[in-house]
Structure 1
Amino acid sequence: MRRRVPADRSGGGPVNVGKIAAGFIVIVSLIGGAFLYYTQVYAYYQPVAFQPGAEIMLTPVAGDAPEPIIAEDVTGIDGESSPIRFRACFKTPMTLAMLSETYRIYDKAEPLNAPGWFDCFDAAAIGAALEKGEAVAFLSQANIHPGVDRVVAVFPDGRAYAWHQLNDSLED
C-alpha cells in the first residue's frame, strides 16, 4: 500500500503568485475607478467668471439679440470639454409677470444634472417645478454653441437657474 504524502500548505509556490496578481489587479482597478470618478465629477469643471452687469441674458419677444437682466448672487460652473456642462444659480428681483411679457418662453426646457458638489443646482427639483408650472423657463441665448441653447428657469420668489441644453437645430 502506498502512503499518501500530505500537500504542502506552507503558502509557497504558485498560490502566492496568484494572490499577488489578484491583489495587484484589484488595486489598479480601484485607482483607475477613483481617477475616472474624479475626472467626470471634478476635473473638467471650473467656476465661471461673469461680467458685472451682463451676467445673465434673456432673448426678448421682439428681437433676437439677448439682453442682460438684473441678476444677483450669480454662481456658475462650466467645462471646455462639453458645451452642455454650463450651470448657474442666481436671484433676480424681476417678477415672473414682467419677464413673461418681455422675454421668450422656452417650451422644451429640461434641466441637466449638475455635479453633486454644485449643490445650488437641483435639476430634478427645477424640472418638476417647470412641469407643475411653479417656474417658467426662458430662452437666454439660442445656439450659444452650435445645436445648444442657454435656458433660464425663474421661480416666483426670484430664485433662478441657467443651463445649456441641446436644441433641434442639428437634427435631420
Structure 2
Amino acid sequence: MKGKIAGGAIVATGLIAGIVMYYLQVYGFYDRLPETAGEELTLTNLATGAPEPMLVEAFEGIDASSSPLRYRACFTTPMSVAMLTETFVTYDAPEPLVAPGWFSCFDAGRIGADLENGTAFAFLSRAEIHDGVDRVIAVYEDGRAFAWHQLNEKFRD
C-alpha cells in the first residue's frame, strides 16, 4: 500500500511539474506590448549606418524578459519595398523564430518561406539590440510587416 502512495505521489508531482513548465514556456513569461511600442521600431540606414524610425500602423507585439529571442511583432507600414531596399540595410540570413500558438498573427514558417521565394524582404532593424542578437524586420509588398530577434554571427555556428 505504501508503494502505491509513493508511486502515485511521484506520478502526480511529475504531471504537475510538466503542466507548470508547459504554461511557463508558452504563456508565463510573455507580455503583450502596447501599441505605442511600434514607435520604437527602426531600420538601419544604408548611407549612415544609423537607425531611423519606421512608419508603423496596427502594431501587435510580445516580448519576455527571460530571453532576448522572444520578441515578435506584427504590423503594417505605408513604406514601399522599393524605397526600403534603396534606403535601408537588407538582412542576409533572416530566420524567423516560431511564436507561441496564441500569438496567431506571426507565422514563422510562412514568413520564412516567403523570404526564401522573394515575396517578403528582410531588413536590419537594429544590430546588437542585445549582445549577439539583431532585430530583423520582414516587409511584404502589400505593407504587412513582421519583426523578430535572432542570433547574429557572434553566436551562430
Cα root mean square deviation, aligned? 1.7
Larger radius of gyration: 1
SS class of match (1:73): strand
Q: What pairs up with 1:23-34 in 2 under 5 angstroms?
A: 23-34=8-19
Which amino acid counterpart does residue 60 of structure 1 have in structure 2?
N
Counterpart AA for 2:78: P
CA distance in 1, matches of 2:42, 2:98: 21
What one-letter code is carried by the residue in structure 1 that aligns with 2:105? Answer: C
Q: Tell whether 2:56 aligns with 1:71.
A: yes
CA distance in structure 1 between the partners assigned to 2:38 and 2:4 by the alignment: 62
What CA deviation, in whole Å up to 9, does each residue of 1:35-57 have, x standing for no partner? 00011111111122354772321
- State the distance in 2 between where 1:161 and 1:42 align: 20
- Measure, in 1, the Cα distance between the counterparts of 2:37 and 2:17: 41
TM-score between both structures, scaled by the size of structure 2: 0.93
Q: CA deviation at 1:133?
A: 0.7
Question: Are 1:62 and 2:58 counterparts?
Answer: no
Question: How far apart, CA to CA, are the structure 2 residues paired with 1:54 and 1:21?
Answer: 55
Deviation at 1:91, TM superposition (A): 0.5
Higher helix share: 2
Aligned-residue offset at 1:25: 1.6
> Is 1:168 aligned with 2:153?
yes
Q: Structure 1 unaligned segments of length 5 or more: list them.
A: 1-15
Code of the residue aligned with 2:21 in structure 1: it is L
Q: 8 Å contact 2:137–2:148 — kept in the other structure?
A: yes
Letter in 1 for 2:61: G
Whether contact under 8 Å (1:147, 1:167) holds in the other structure is yes
TM-score (norm 1): 0.85
SS for the counterpart of 2:11 is: helix
Specify the alignment match of 2:24 in structure 1.
Answer: 39
Among all aligned residue pairs of Structure 1 and Structure 2, give the percentage whose two residues are the same amino acid.
58
CA distance in 2, matches of 1:38, 1:130: 31
Specify which structure has the higher proportion of strand: 2
Contact 2:58 2:76 in 1 (8 A): yes
Unaligned runs of 5+ in 2: none
Is the deviation greater in 49-58 or in 125-134?
49-58
**Residue aligning to 1:97:** 82
Q: Which amino acid aligns with 1:62?
A: A
Is contact 2:35-2:58 (8 Å) kept?
no
